[in-house]
Structure 1
Amino acid sequence: MSPLSNVAVTLVLLSGAWLTQAAAAEEAALIAARASELQWTAAPSVGPGAMIAVIEGDPKAAGPFTFRLKLPANSSVGVHTHPATERVTVLSGSFYLGTGDTLDPAKAATYQAGDTLIIPAGVAMSAGTRSEAAVLQLHGTGPWGISYHDPADDPRNP
């Protein structure tokens, strides 16, 4: 290869590396979420009174997402699964989670503020709160969703 060809190839390779770094820099933007500024909306797929605030991404789309979920006191989420691994951190209150195909609140484990759960895709679970509300932060890679084992448990069904 001639010296001029060597220079041309080197320039092409260097420009490709620079463009790759520039594209990565465009994707990596600072996201700062102040709790007092979150935009809360109803989360009908979870149940009455549940609220969601999306911090990053679109949980229904492919890609990373982060959102917060408020569950009111005395709430119950019937047996369900998620299509993707769910990473949950309890931010406040107490959160109860049971695994398996049947709802048994007596067998649910209690998780307090600071506790974290990593629930693989497809694991059957039920959840809820008792005398106090809970705020959870969930993150993972979408698309995320919820599928109830019994359609009667799905709060979206009339």
Structure 2
Amino acid sequence: MKLKTFCTHATLLGIASSALFTAAASDNHHYTPGQGGHIMVTPDQLDWGSVASMEGDAKITIIEGNLAEEAPFTIRLRLPENYIVHPHVHPAYERVTVLSGTFHFAHGDTFDRDATMALTPGSFAIMAPGEPMFAFTEEETIIQLHGEGPWGIDYIHEEHDPRN
């Protein structure tokens, strides 16, 4: 496949996956800037919903932004015990902060538990656009992601994408 064709397909796939990711989560975004444009939210105010682009009982809350727009966003993912995030890529830099639990995270296009690093609360990771990654949990884990949209997720192996 020629590079130009590949880039066109990758861009279209990124836009489509961003729309699917956003559609599942758009009802969860109800935080509006207050005085001076500040957004202040306590954990009990978070509205969690399903994530169309992730299997099982993963939940999302969008704290800031619209994932389909070219703008900053902040989201949280709540992943259940023994959850696997299959190898995937994102169209933009991903910045992950672990808030609770342990997020076992690694770079690569093949899932390998032994290759992961255990990221405990307060740990931080930055992943470059298009670089494959995967993760798993052993306990309920909450991570916060922030970056610039449009956002999306493309799985390395099509059979792991619940949107198919």
Please confirm whether the aligned pair reaches a TM-score higher than 0.5, indicating the same fold. yes
Partner Cα distance (1:109, 1:126) in 2: 11
How many residues are treated as equivalent by the alignment? 130
Matching residue of 2:159:
152
What is the TM-score normalised by the length of structure 1? Answer: 0.79
Matching residue of 1:134:
141
From 75, 80, 87, give the equivalent of 2:88.
Answer: 80
Matching residue of 1:69:
77
From 27, 35, 46, give the equivalent of 1:38.
Answer: 46
Matching residue of 2:112:
104
Partner Cα distance (1:155, 1:70) in 2: 17
Matching residue of 2:126:
118
Q: Is the 8 A contact 1:44 1:50 kept in 2?
A: no
Partner Cα distance (1:37, 1:94) in 2: 23
AA aligned to 1:32 is M
Q: Secondary structure at the match of 2:44?
A: helix
Matching residue of 2:27:
none
Unaligned runs of 5+ in 1: 1-27
AA aligned to 1:139 is H
Q: CA deviation at 1:38?
A: 0.7
Matching residue of 1:54:
62
Q: CA deviation at 1:155?
A: 2.0
Max radius of gyration: which structure?
1
Q: CA deviation at 1:109?
A: 0.9
Partner Cα distance (2:126, 2:161) in 1: 23
Q: Secondary structure at the match of 2:37?
A: coil
Of 64-73 and 97-106, deviating more is: 97-106
Partner Cα distance (1:139, 1:63) in 2: 11
AA aligned to 1:33 is V
Matching residue of 2:100:
92
> How big is each residue's C-alpha offset from its partner over 1:67-106, in whole Å with a ceiling of 9 and x where there is no partner?
1100001010111000010000000000011211211111
Partner Cα distance (1:152, 1:55) in 2: 30
Partner Cα distance (1:94, 1:125) in 2: 16
Partner Cα distance (2:46, 2:66) in 1: 15
Q: CA deviation at 1:44?
A: 2.5
Partner Cα distance (1:155, 1:97) in 2: 21
> How big is each residue's C-alpha offset from its partner over 1:28-87, in whole Å with a ceiling of 9 and x where there is no partner?
611011110011110131221000000000112110000110000101011100001000
